[in-house]
Structures are given as C-alpha cells and as structure tokens.
C-alpha cells in the first residue's frame, strides 16, 4: 500500500532525476543497479525513496552545498519506529555503513509517524533535506550533531528549533521490547546512544540527510525535488 501511494504521488507530482553529479550516475538504471548492489530492499528501504533521496542529493551537490558528498543519510519515516529505518550509505565506496533505529517527534505519532511541522514548540519532526554541520555536546543529550534544514517552509527552522541528531535510551531494541515501539523525541532524529559518535564521524561536515514521508504537500512543493535546470 505504501509503495502504491508513493507511485501515485510521484505521478501527481512528477520528479525528474538530474544529471551532472560527481559520484552518482544520473541514469536511472545505474541508480537501480546501486540499489540492488547494496541490497537495500532487504533492509526495508524502497527504491522509490532511494531515488528521491538521490534527486535532492544531486541538486545540493550541483549547487556546491555538499562539502562531504561521499555519504548520504536517509531516514524513512513511512516505516514503523520498531524498524531500523535510518540508512547511512557510503556512495564513494558503495557500502551501507549503518542501518539503525531512529526516533521521531513526540507529536508526530506513536509507532508510526503521521504529522510533521516546521514550527517551534510543536514537538514534531520536519521533512526534507538537511545539511549536516558540526558535532556538539548538549547538557541533556550529550554528543550530538547539528543538522541544518535547507527547505523553506518544511525544515528551515531546524536550527532555531534546536533540532539535532542525538543519542537516546529510548531509541533501542530494549525499549521496543517493552513498548512495541521506540520512544519519541522533541522533534529530533534520535538514534541509539552507542551509535551517535560513529554515525556523526561519518556524516558530519556538510553531508546530505533526507527525512522522508509520503506527504503530498511536501512531494509536490519541495524545490529540491522539482528544481529544473
């Protein structure tokens, strides 16, 4: 059903993959081959979501906004929070580096994400493309990574909202065993504490992060997904 919905939304809001990227061949067949080579479907990621992530990644790279273009992070909030729905992919060496749990915002949903916002105080996650910045250490959350939303109206208030990637005890299998789902954040993509440092080390310094959900408003109005050369 989710796959059919993505196809419907992409038909309503057609999206063209761009050419001209340094690491990713713009040919759809080549991108399909990469998807198959990495066996991403066996880890729960749909090819359509992968293609959308590459579309925005390519556009950011063409705009010279990626100072670390060797990796891409995809967070698929269409999946249950009990699934490992975050994927860190090494595009240079064609490897899946991390596939792990990631929590969504408290008011975005329970087991499944449903509602998103760019506004302060909503305790909701925000969709779209982000640029990773520098690691930080928060008084409450410990090691973390600043992420800067680059899509106006969808996630460009992320820094002002203090939306960061951080570790959390509620983003673990133990928490899922107790409750049937992950715990929830104040809007941040929270990962298991033991992974925040190694993940940060790989994706820091200007890499692309894509937070996905099949939201019609986002898919139809994202400037990165619909930019025309």
Provide the residue-wise pLDDT of the chain in tens; the chain has 229 residues: 555 555 555 555 655 444 444 577 667 788 899 999 999 999 999 999 999 999 999 999 999 999 999 999 999 999 999 999 999 999 999 999 999 999 999 999 999 999 999 999 999 999 999 999 999 997 788 999 999 999 999 999 999 999 999 999 999 999 999 999 999 999 999 999 999 999 999 999 999 999 999 999 999 999 999 865 4
What CATH number labels 2-226?
Answer: 2.40.440.10
Confirm if 23 and 58 have CB atoms less than 8 A apart.
no
Q: What is the pLDDT of residue 125?
A: 98
Q: What is the pLDDT of residue 29?
A: 84
Q: What is the pLDDT of residue 12?
A: 56
| pTM of the complete model | 0.91
Instruction: Look at strands 164-168 and 190-192 and give their pairing.
Output: parallel
Q: Burial of 126 by CB count in 10 Å (0-12 exposed, 13-18 middle, 19+ buried)? A: buried
SS (H, E, C) the chain: CHHHHHHHHHHHCCCCCCCCCCCCCCCHHHHHHHHHHCCHHHHCCCHHHHHHHHHHHHHHHHCCCCCCCCEEEEEECCCCCCCCCEEEEECCCCEEEEEECCECECCCECCCECCCCCCCCCCCCCCEEEEEEEEEEECCCEEEEEEEECCCCCCCCCCCCCCEEEEECCCCHHHHHHHCCCCCECCCCEEEHHHHHHHHHHHCCCCEEEEECCCHHHHHHCHHHHCCC
Q: What is the pLDDT of residue 3?
A: 56
Q: What is the pLDDT of residue 201?
A: 97
Sorted by where each begins, the domain ranges of the chain are 2-226
* 11 to 4, 15, 52, 68: CA distances (angstroms): 11, 8, 13, 32
Q: What is the pLDDT of residue 66?
A: 97
């Amino acid at each position: 059903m989710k796959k059919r919905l993505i196809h419907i939304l992409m038909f309503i809001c057609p999206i063209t993959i761009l050419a001209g990227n340094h690491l990713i061949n713009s040919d759809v067949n080549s991108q399909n081959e990469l998807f198959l080579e990495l066996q991403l479907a066996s880890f729960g990621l749909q090819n359509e979501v992968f293609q959308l992530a590459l579309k925005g990644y390519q556009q950011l790279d063409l705009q010279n906004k990626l100072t670390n273009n060797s990796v891409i992070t995809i967070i698929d909030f269409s999946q249950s929070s009990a699934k490992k729905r975050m994927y860190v992919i090494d595009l240079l060496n064609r490897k899946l580096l991390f596939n792990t749990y990631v929590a969504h915002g408290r008011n975005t949903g329970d087991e499944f994400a449903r509602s998103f916002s760019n506004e302060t105080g909503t305790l909701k996650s925000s969709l779209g493309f982000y640029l990773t910045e520098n690691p930080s250490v928060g008084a409450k959350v410990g090691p973390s990574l600043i992420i800067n939303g680059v899509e106006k109206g969808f996630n460009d208030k992320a820094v002002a909202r203090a939306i960061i990637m951080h570790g959390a005890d509620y983003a673990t299998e133990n928490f899922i065993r107790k409750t049937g789902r992950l715990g929830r954040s104040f809007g941040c993509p929270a990962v298991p504490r033991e992974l925040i440092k190694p993940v940060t080390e790989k994706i820091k310094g200007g890499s692309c992060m894509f937070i996905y959900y099949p939201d019609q408003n986002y898919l139809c109005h994202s400037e990165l997904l619909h930019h025309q050369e």
